[in-house]
């Protein structure tokens, strides 16, 4: 959409590297606890990590943990970004409306977004007709 500033990456390590290079003051990370580790070594900035489950290890002093489960409203996301002076959002391309509020708030606040791409779907059989599907099923027996 107009006003979006997305930088797409393939994994959390790449997201942390891009984040460091953007030189933000405060990064809001909404990736979940499994993808948090690469960000913990970043210095010279503040981290706000919002996730459902507590991370396995304690966070460093420059990181704030927010345990919360969405959905969140655009107003909620604006308030969070204002309270913590967030100037970079790191999130996943989850699809659907689950992440829309934070993306909208980031756009409205002119905050760049580092977006983890969805993993590529594995290649599988393809069919262009019901008959091809039925033949494929029969061949599996």
Domains of the chain (ranges; CATH) run 6-139 (3.40.50.720)
Rounded to whole angstroms, the Cα distance separating 140 from 76 reads: 50
Alpha carbon of residue 81 to chain centroid: 15
Angle at 41 between CA 38 and CA 43, to 5 degrees: 130
Q: Which helix (H) or strand (E) holds 28?
A: strand 26-29
Whole-prediction pTM: 0.82
pLDDT tens figures, 24-69: 999 999 999 899 999 998 999 999 999 999 998 889 999 999 999 9
Rounded to whole angstroms, the Cα distance separating 97 from 71 reads: 9
Rounded to whole angstroms, the Cα distance separating 113 from 60 reads: 23
Rounded to whole angstroms, the Cα distance separating 90 from 112 reads: 9
Which residues share a beta bridge with 9? 116
pLDDT tens figures, 97-112: 777 899 999 999 999 9
């Amino acid at each position: 959409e107009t006003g979006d500033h997305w930088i797409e990456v393939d994994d959390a390590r790449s997201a942390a590297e891009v984040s460091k290079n953007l030189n933000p003051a405060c990064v809001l990370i909404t990736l979940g606890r499994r993808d948090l580790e690469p960000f913990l070594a970043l210095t010279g900035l503040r981290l706000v990590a919002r996730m459902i489950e507590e991370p396995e290890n304690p966070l460093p002093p420059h990181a704030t943990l927010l345990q919360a489960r969405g959905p969140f409203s655009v107003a909620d996301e604006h308030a969070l970004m204002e309270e913590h002076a967030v100037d970079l959002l790191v999130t996943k391309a989850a699809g659907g409306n689950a992440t829309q509020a934070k993306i909208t708030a980031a756009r409205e606040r002119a905050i760049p977004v580092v977006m983890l791409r969805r993993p590529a779907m594995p290649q599988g059989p393809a069919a262009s007709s019901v008959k091809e599907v039925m033949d494929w099923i029969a061949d599996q027996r």
